[in-house]
A and B are shown apart, each in its own frame.
Chain A
Amino acid sequence: MVSIEGVKFQYDAAGPVLSFPNFSCAQGDRMLLLGNSGAGKTTLLHLLCGLLTPTSGRLTVGSKSLHTSTDRELDRWRGAEVGVIFQQAHFVQSLTVRENLALPHQLTTGRIPEDLEAKMDDMLDRLGIGHRAGARPHELSVGEQQRASIARALLHKPKVMFADEPTSALDDESAAAVMDILDREAADATLVVVTHDQRLKDRYAACVTLNPQRP
C-alpha cells in the first residue's frame, strides 16, 4: 500500500513549502498522480521512493514508514521492494542490457541468482527486446531503452512500482503499448504512475490531481 498524510516538503529553508494532498492506495491497486509542470510530481515521486525526506507528515509505502527510516534502511528497501521507471531511462553505460537488468540483484543481495538469467530472457522476450540483451544501452532506441528500463524495474518482483512520465515521449500507440506492458507485468504490484499526460487520466479509477499548494 501507499499512503501519504499531511506531507510537506521544502528544498531549502528559504524556498517555498510544497504541500501534497492526502491519499492512499491498497496493495495491488493502480493509481495515477496527475499534474502539470511545476505541480511537484517528481518531488512527490522522489518522496515516495525515499530519495527525499518529507519536512513533515507521514509517508508509508508497503511496510516501510519512510519518514522514520534511516538512509541505509531506505537503500535496502528500494533494492528489495521498489521498482522505479524514470522519465529518462538511465543505465550503467559500461554494462550490457542483460547486466543492467541483473545489477539491482547484485546491489541488493551481493549475488545474482542462478535462475535470474532465464527469467531475464523470458521478460525481455515478452517485452520484444530479447534480441537486444547483449547490446550496450546507447545502442538501443528510445523505445527499447524504455522497455529495458521497465524490465529492470520488474525483474525482482517489486511490491511497489513507480513510473515517472512513462509515456511522455511516445505516440498514442506506443503509449498504450507501454501502459499495457506495465499493467500486465506489474499485475501483483501496486503501481503508481506520475504523469502530466492527459491521455492517461481515465486509465485508472484512482487518480489524484496535484496542484501547486503553497500555504
Chain B
Amino acid sequence: MTLGVTTQALRNLQAKPLQTALSLALLAFGVGMVSLMLLTEKQVNDAFERNIKDIDLVLGAKGSPLQLILANVYHIDAPTGNISLEAAQKVVKHPYIASGIPLAYGDNHEGYRIVGTDMGYVEHYGAELADGGWWDKTFDVTLGAKVAEATGLTLGDTFFSAHGLTDQTDIHTNRTFTVVGVMEPSGTVVDQLILTSIQSIWDVHAHDGEEVDPSTREITAMLLKKRNPLAVLTIPNKLRDTNMQVALPAIEVNRMTQQFGLGTAALRAIAMLIMALSFASIFISVLDNIRARRHELALMRTMGGTPRTLYTLLLVEGGLLSAGGTLLGLVLSRVAMVVLSAFVEQQFHYSLGAMMPLPGELALAAAAVAVGLVASAIPAQRTLRLDISKTLSEA
C-alpha cells in the first residue's frame, strides 16, 4: 500500500470530481488556446519564411500587392492578371536586378496548380527528383510530392488540365499532360505544384494551328532577385506608366502578419482571461477544501501530521491540478492543430504538421504550473494556523 502525499492528493481530487474537472477544464482551455496560437504562428511564419527565401521582388500585373505575393509566392490566392513577357524580361535586364524566374499559370488538375516556369524555379527552392526527370518537352510535367501523393499520378500517367485554379468544370481536353517526374518533398510551395514549361501553358490555351506573335506572349509574374538594394526604390518608378507593379514579399507578409496580430492579440487576451479564471478556480478549490476538510486536517495533526505536512498536501493538490490542466491544454492544442491542419490542407494544400513543444510553450507550461502553485499556496497557508482543538470541538 502506498499512501504518499501524491496519492493522498490524487484521492482528494478524485473525491471532488466536478470541482476538479472544472478547474482542469478551465486551465486546459486557457493553456490550449495560447498553445494553439503559438503553434499556428510558428507554423505560418515558418511557411512564409521558407517560401520567401531570397525572393526580393515580385513583378506582376497591377492590383493588390499582397494578392500578388500570395498568388505568386505562396500560391494561395488568384493572380492579379498577366503581364507581357517582353516587358518583364526588360525589367530582369535592369542592372539592379540579378535574376528573374518567370511564372505562368491559370490551370489546375484536381485543385493543384499547373505552373509553367524554368529550372531556375526548381533550383531556387532546392527541389530534387524522387523519380523520373524534369519536364523537357511541351506538356511534360514534374509533380510536387504532395500532388503525386494526393492525385495518385505516377510516371507515364496522363491528364487534362482544367481552366482556373480550383475549378474542375472547364477541362482542356485538346491537350494531354504527361507525368515525367516526381519531386522529393521539400517543405516548400513546390510540393503542391505541377511544374511544366511556360510553352505548355501557352499551348494549352492556343487554338489549333494558331500562330502567336512572340512579342504578345504573356506570363503571370516574374520572381526577382536584386543585385543592388536600390532596386526596391528604382524599379517601382520605372513601372509607373505600365500595367505592371513590383511587390516586396517581406513587407507585404509583415503587413499581413501585423493585421493577423491584432486578431491573435485579442484571442490571446481571452485565453489569458480564461487562464486567470482557472487560477481563481484553483484558489477557490483549495480554499473550499480547507473549509470542508478542516476536521480531516485537524485529525491528521492528532495522528502525527505536522503543519508542513498539511501545507504540502494542499500544495501538491494545487500543483497536480495546474500540471494536469496544463498538460491537458497542450494535448488539446495538438488535437485542434490536427483539425486545423486538415482544414488548411484542404483549402490551401499547406500542412501544419510539427507537434514538438515550442520553447514558448514550455515557458507557458512552467508559468501556468508556477501560478497554479501560488494560487494554492496562498490559501494553504491557513493550515499553518489551524486551531486543532477548536476545530475538533466544532464537530
The answer to whether B15 touches A94 (Cβ under 8 A) is yes
Q: Is B302's beta carbon under 8 Å from chain A?
A: yes
* Complex interface: stretch among A20-28, A77-85, A124-132, A166-174: A77-85
* Complex interface: stretch among A57-65, A105-113, A179-187: A105-113
A104 vs B300: C-alpha distance in the bound complex, in angstroms? 8
Q: Is A95's beta carbon under 8 Å from chain B?
A: yes
A84 vs B392: C-alpha distance in the bound complex, in angstroms? 12
The answer to whether B392 touches A90 (Cβ under 8 A) is yes
A residues near B, CB below 8 A? 42-43, 46, 49, 51-52, 71-72, 75-76, 78-80, 82, 84, 86-88, 90-95, 98-99, 102-104, 106-108, 112, 116-117, 152
Minimal Cβ-Cβ distance residue in A for B299: A90
The answer to whether A108 touches B389 (Cβ under 8 A) is no
8 A Cβ contacts from B237-252 to A: none
A103 vs B12: C-alpha distance in the bound complex, in angstroms? 14
A108 and B392 in contact (CB under 8 A), knowing A94-B12, A94-B15, A95-B8? no
Residues on A with beta carbons closer than 8 Å to the beta carbon of B4: 106
A92 and B299 in contact (CB under 8 A), knowing A99-B3, A112-B3? yes
A168 vs B8: C-alpha distance in the bound complex, in angstroms? 32
Residues on B with beta carbons closer than 8 Å to the beta carbon of A76: 304, 306
Residues on A with beta carbons closer than 8 Å to the beta carbon of B295: 90
If over half of B's interface residues share one DSSP class (helix, strand or loop), that class is named, otherwise mixed; here it is: helix
> Min CB distance, B12 to chain A, in Å?
5
A71 vs B310: C-alpha distance in the bound complex, in angstroms? 14
A149 vs B389: C-alpha distance in the bound complex, in angstroms? 18
B residues near A, CB below 8 A? 1-4, 8, 11-12, 14-15, 293, 295-296, 298-307, 309, 388-389, 392-393, 395
Minimal Cβ-Cβ distance residue in B for A96: B11
- Closest 10 interchain pairs by CB? A79-B304, A108-B304, A94-B15, A104-B303, A107-B304, A94-B11, A90-B299, A107-B305, A46-B389, A51-B389
If over half of A's interface residues share one DSSP class (helix, strand or loop), that class is named, otherwise mixed; here it is: helix
Residues on A with beta carbons closer than 8 Å to the beta carbon of B300: 92, 103, 107
The answer to whether B12 touches A78 (Cβ under 8 A) is no
The answer to whether A86 touches B392 (Cβ under 8 A) is yes
> Min CB distance, B38 to chain A, in Å?
36
The answer to whether B306 touches A80 (Cβ under 8 A) is no
Pick the contact of A49: B12, B302, B307, B393 (CB < 8 A). B302
Residues on A with beta carbons closer than 8 Å to the beta carbon of B395: 86-88, 90
A78 and B302 in contact (CB under 8 A), knowing A51-B392, A91-B296, A102-B3? yes
Residues on B with beta carbons closer than 8 Å to the beta carbon of A99: 1, 3, 11
The answer to whether B3 touches A106 (Cβ under 8 A) is yes
